[in-house]
Amino acid sequence: MNYEYFIAKRIISSKAYKSSVSAPIIKIGIAAIAIGIVVMMIAIATGVGLQQKIRDKVVAFNGHVIISNYDSNNTDESITPISNEQDFYPEFNTVEGIDHIQAVASKYGVVRTEKDFEGTYLKGVGGDYNWKYFKEFLVEGELLDYTPKRNEDVLISQYLANRLALKLNETFQMVFFKNDTEKVPNIITYKIKGIYNSGFQDFDANYIIGDIRHIQRINRWKKNEVGNFEVFIEDYDELDIKGEEIHNSVPSKLYGQTITNKYRSIFDWIKIFDTNIYGIIGMMILVAGINMITALLVLILERTQMIGILKALGSNNFSIRKVFLYNASYLILLGLFWGNLIGLALLFAQKYLKLFTLDPTVYYVTEAPVYISLGYVLALNLGTLVLCLLMLLIPSYVITKISPVRAIRFD
């Protein structure tokens, strides 16, 4: 029989224990564990959620790897065309783990209405375009189909639609300027078939999605010429490896660039979230551990006579320490239970009710995204339990210093 567990269970279930001097301190310790778990869960869920959301939005507009020409063009406009008659297109079979590849092109122009104008890029796409990401962004209308003949249907962001006072199914003119030798610009009248909102204002303000054949005609490209290729991979964690493999697989006149390299400032910024998460976890575990140490010391002092009697009856120090560690484990588990209950309730409320909003000009999202995974929840609980118990081994050493004779006479 595990008598240490038996004694600890009797102590916990006794009425005297619940109304003792240590009861308020014990409640504070439990509350500290619960609050710590809530804060850590929110930190991980929102930090990882924000990273994934921002990453997915960058991928939606660029793919994971961009294959383009070597040139001195530092803008998003496609200047030098690439033939789409490549070994890696339309199926990238030389590298494993490729999910999709699509040909696109971009052309800078000015949207003109009766009362206003706005400079932006027309991103030309074709029948091979993957609309998976834009399904989530779509707020009005429908996604586009460019497999039939060339058409003037476009997808515009809600940001641009609001700035230009445009609505679904309305038309607008877009002016495209040619090279210096051709002074007459191209003017195309487009019809809004869909309105999207990615929440990433840097992209929403700069991209209208349209038919790539308009860009080919304006630039006087051949039907088989495009601006660049966007490659989507199956596992984001292998981005650097796959990016290198893709770069080595394309012809020498082309190069593959990962989104982490193209948008280094954005990805360096979201990496800081990891440091913040680790800092919050460390601080919360330390605070919870200190509170539990205090609670355990009070429990030991309150049960000094019991310790003396157990020693007089032949119990060794390790067995008595186990009694109090069992007791402390119960308190930690109780705190973890309430912490998980409150934390998960808050996270699911945010996930489905969108209670807390964010400024998209700062965070690139309109509401605080959350990432909920059984894996990190279990790891967080197990890690908190183990680390707190390890911290409690130090104060439990006080038991070894208690003399049986003095302890029995202690009042």
In tens, the pLDDT along 346-364 reads: 999 998 888 888 887 777 7
- Give the residue ranges of the chain where pLDDT is below 70: 1, 14-22, 72-74, 179-183, 399-411
**Cβ of 186: how many Cβ atoms within 10 Å?**
16
Which structure tokens are listed for 240? 């650097």
In tens, the pLDDT along 232-263 reads: 999 999 999 999 999 999 988 898 999 999 99
**Cβ of 179: how many Cβ atoms within 10 Å?**
9
Burial of 244: CB neighbours in 10 Å, binned 0-12, 13-18, 19+ = middle
User: What's the pLDDT score for residue 227?
Assistant: 92
Question: Which amino acid is located at 56 in the chain?
Answer: D
Beta-ladder partners of 25: none
Record the pTM.
0.80
Tell me how far apart the alpha carbons of residues 230 and 242 are, in angstroms, rounded to a whole number: 13
Q: Residue 171 to residues 147, 153, 174, 191: CA-CA distances in angstroms?
A: 21, 9, 10, 4
Tell me how far apart the alpha carbons of residues 321 and 397 are, in angstroms, rounded to a whole number: 7
Structure-token match 């699509």, residue found:
102
Q: Residue 272 to residues 72, 96, 108, 278: CA-CA distances in angstroms?
A: 31, 31, 33, 10
Judge whether 36 and 375 are in contact, CB under 8 Å: no
Beta-ladder partners of 172: 190
Which structure tokens are listed for 49? 């959620």
The DSSP secondary structure of 105-164, one letter per residue, reads EEEEEEEE-SS-EEEEEEEEE-TT---HHHHHHEEEE-----SSS---EEEEEHHHHHHT
Q: How big is the chain, counted in residues?
A: 411
